[in-house]
Structure 1
Amino acid sequence: MNGIKKHRGSRRYYKKLATENDLDKATCLDFDNPETWFENWHLHFDWNGYGNNCFKRRKPHLDKLFRHFDILVDKTKRLKTDFQLYSILLDFASCNDALFLHTPNPNNSQFPFTISDLQPTTTLTNRGLDDYINKLDGYEKLYGQADEAFCLIYKKNVGQPF
């Protein structure tokens, strides 16, 4: 044994990743109600961290994340308020990759949400992730460094920019 635990049912798991729409299960996403607000509401796509050590396992989770990003771009056209739609991808922690939706909200959390010290030049050391991000068309990319290097991704002319 080489110490890697076999993921049972992985063929079925990855097939489901490619087709499932997690937004269908999100009951809080009412884009037609003018009272709707989101306080950095987010979705993770690799809860188990399958892609933490292997980009081949991370890529299908990222594909799902960006498929959902595009679905949300369409749905947010119905929002009656300002919003931010963005993703944050961490250098190696695939389990923390997430897609965020944020609006002004009654909790007085910062809107628009900002992160200081972002730059247009990559801070990532994960070559597979960096290559994947560079191939994304139609997305703006900003990079930073916290506990781990990360990339913040959004689309121009979709909600408030960063």
Structure 2
Amino acid sequence: MNGIKKHRGLKRYYRNLATENDLDKTTWLDFNKPDNWFDNCHLHFDWKGYGNNSFKRRKPHLDKLFRHFDLLADKTNKLKIEFQLYSILLDFNSYSDALFLHTPNPNNSQFPFKISDLQLTTTLTNKQLNDYINNLDGYEKLYGQANEAFCLIFKKNLGQPF
């Protein structure tokens, strides 16, 4: 063999991405407890980093992330406290793309959460990711630069703004 690892079951894996609801699998997302809080709790959707090498492989993970954004937005109606719901997408690191829920919490984490030096103009160099983000309807986008360029995405009039 030439050392290339064959990934079995990828067709099923990508088919399941389009239908699975990860919110049903998490124990920390309980909206029925009135005293529940969230300290930048987050979900990742590309645990193996498949999308790092190919946007064709990243897109289904992003589609799942934004489907979950809408599912989670519906669930926040049950929250009796202020919250922030947002996503951060990194330029080329699909593994780190995540969906966040944040509320005031006993850990003294900053609420509302703020990131300095955000701008309206893209910092991304990944053209395919930039095009994907530009085609999202109903989302606000702010861009920044840390170790890698990133985009922070949220919905206007949903929780605390950035």
Name the TM-score class by shorter chain.
over 0.9
Gaps of at least 5 residues in structure 2 are none
Summarize deviations over 1:77-105 as a string: whole Å, max 9, x none.
11000000000000000000000000000
The 3 A distance-change label for structure 1 pair 132 and 80 is same
Tell me which residue corresponds to 2:100: 100
The answer to whether the aligner puts 1:84 opposite 2:84 as a matched pair is yes
Identity %: 80
Q: For 1:87 and 1:80, how far apart are their aligned partners in 2?
A: 22
Return the offset for 1:33: 1.9
Look up the SS of the partner of 1:153 in the other structure: strand
Query: CA RMSD of the aligned region, Å?
Result: 1.4
Tell me which residue corresponds to 2:141: 141
Deviant stretches of 4+, over 3 Å: 1-6
Q: For 1:5 and 1:56, how far apart are their aligned partners in 2?
A: 19
Map 1:105-120; keep pairs closer than 5 Å. 105-120=105-120
Report how many residues are paired.
162
Return the offset for 1:7: 2.3
Tell me which residue corresponds to 2:56: 56
Summarize deviations over 1:21-40 as a string: whole Å, max 9, x none.
00001122121322010000
Which amino acid in 2 is paired with 1:62?
A: L
Q: For 1:143 and 1:99, how far apart are their aligned partners in 2?
A: 16
Which amino acid in 2 is paired with 1:160?
A: Q
Q: For 1:103 and 1:121, how far apart are their aligned partners in 2?
A: 28
Return the offset for 1:124: 0.3
Which amino acid in 1 is paired with 2:134?
A: N
TM-score, length of structure 1 as denominator length: 0.96
